[in-house]
Structure 1
């Protein structure tokens, strides 16, 4: 069975995906997921930023197995194409039978935002003295829009949405669509909650712009040699990882700054009373994307067809 992006869009919802991702993150931290490191090959199609990569992400969890093959081509923006594209194969764990092959682009988009929504729902009540209201976004692409949509499901108090982008026209367009404001980067960064969702290889968020107790959701800058946050932001913050070993291996924000991961989100979600989330300093939630999230979403799609 092949499932197209249009069919995925028709059945996959944040109402179902966010709680499923929450449980998947808990299962990962509890050691119930067999997920080897992502393998990445460079495409060798160019000598500059257009050089793409091809990733293979397998996982075994519960009653299924799966593998996502994903590509990232930064230069696709210039061609009017998606920068990320993917295919997910889902198999029955007990027999190895293929269950479905499905387009993974939308799944990647939605599961990334759902991870941030699950993380927000676990961290925010422990971190903020009063409910946050302002949401600053650096980036105006697919993930900016997806995060607004996903976070609304767990953050009904979101009121002031600020969008900054190197492409001012894109920021203005998204702001108009989402009832938000297009602003400069430092104003977006001064919000209660800040999202970085760019493909920039160098920091776009400076620590000096952040509020003393900001919550940062850092989801862009894929790779160990690129980063979105400067040293001041990283070293002044309490770092919560989507998956500790994954982030320590693949996040340039962590590797290049020398910052230490202090908690894993699955542990925070499973035992909030035991979590040591501070109220008096910044929190950074760093995600790099994991196969367990893709297969969790793919399983939801397959069950809905």
Structure 2
């Protein structure tokens, strides 16, 4: 059975996804998830940003198994509206752990988008002060949009939203969309008190919480722009040779990640700055390690197969509950 994206959009919501991923991250850090490192192959059909990659991500957890195949071809963004190809595309296969029987095959693009934002929301809830009021967003793509929706659920206090993009018009468009009433823009939730607005990169980076969601191969966020106690959530620049954060950001922050092994292997921000991960988010959630206080915190996400499995299982369970 194949489940397409429109049906997934009708079944998967952040309300159950965020707590389910929270528990999965705790279980991962406690050794309760069987997940090898992802295998990544380059297409090597060209050079530069159009040289995409292909990855396989298997995982076993609780009553199911899953494997995700995902591609990232940044050059798709330059193909124009007539092609309308996303830069990330994925397929997830869900299987029974008891019999090995394939349960469902489903489109993975929206699942990847939503699980990434939901995991960041888990990290935001665990690492940010309850009193944060400003959110800076560097980037204006699908992850910027999905993070707005997920963050709003765990920190409604983030009323001051500042958006920066290399293309100023994209930042203005996202700010306008995010200001629409809920009935007109289901994905982004309630309108923000002061209204999201397009700003300079320096103003966005000076917020209490800074989301960096870019496809940049070189640093766009400079540590000198950050507040001394800022929380930075970085979800872009996945790969050991690309980065979106400068050395100062890495060297002046306590670094938290989903997985030490994955981040120190796959994040160019960490690899190229010579940094190390101080804690996994699952350890902090389980109270096995204290939340850092009195300084900057960087949460670096590279994505994990367990997150895709959890989201895919929620889709399947919701589909069964609907009697489809």
Band the TM-score falls in, shorter-chain normalisation: over 0.9
Matched, 1:93 2:80: no
Instruction: Give, in angstroms, the shift of residue 303 of structure 1.
Output: 0.7
Q: Deviations over 1:62-110 (max 9, x none)?
A: 0000000000000000123200000000000011000000000000000
Q: Deviations over 1:37-72 (max 9, x none)?
A: 100111123212111110000001100000000000
Q: Deviations over 1:132-181 (max 9, x none)?
A: 00000000000000000001110011100000010111011001111311
Q: Which residue of 1 aligns with 2:87?
A: 83
Residues of 1 paired with 2:298 and 2:217: CA distance?
Answer: 18
Q: Deviations over 1:212-256 (max 9, x none)?
A: 000000000010010111000000000001111110110001111
Q: Which residue of 2 aligns with 1:292?
A: 306
Q: Which residue of 2 aligns with 1:17?
A: 17
Q: Which residue of 1 aligns with 2:121?
A: 117
Matched, 1:278 2:292: yes
SS in 2 for 1:49: helix
Q: Deviations over 1:259-299 (max 9, x none)?
A: 1211100011111xx53333211000001000000010000
Q: Which residue of 2 aligns with 1:174?
A: 174
Residues of 1 paired with 2:276 and 2:2: CA distance?
Answer: 42
Supply the RMSD in Å over aligned alpha carbons. Answer: 0.9
SS in 1 for 2:68: strand
Equivalences for 1:1-305 in 2 at 5 Å? 1-79=1-79, 80-124=84-128, 128=129, 131-179=131-179, 180-271=196-287, 274-305=288-319
Q: Scaled by the length of structure 2, what TM-score is found?
A: 0.91
SS in 2 for 1:69: strand
Q: Deviations over 1:185-227 (max 9, x none)?
A: 1110000000000000000000000000000000000100101
SS in 1 for 2:153: coil
Residues of 2 paired with 1:279 and 1:21: CA distance?
Answer: 24
Residues of 2 paired with 1:260 and 1:44: CA distance?
Answer: 30
Gaps of 5+ in 2: 180-195, 320-324
Instruction: Give, in angstroms, the shift of residue 123 of structure 1.
Output: 1.2
Residues of 2 paired with 1:90 and 1:260: CA distance?
Answer: 33
Residues of 2 paired with 1:245 and 1:285: CA distance?
Answer: 14
Residues of 2 paired with 1:289 and 1:263: CA distance?
Answer: 16
SS in 2 for 1:19: helix
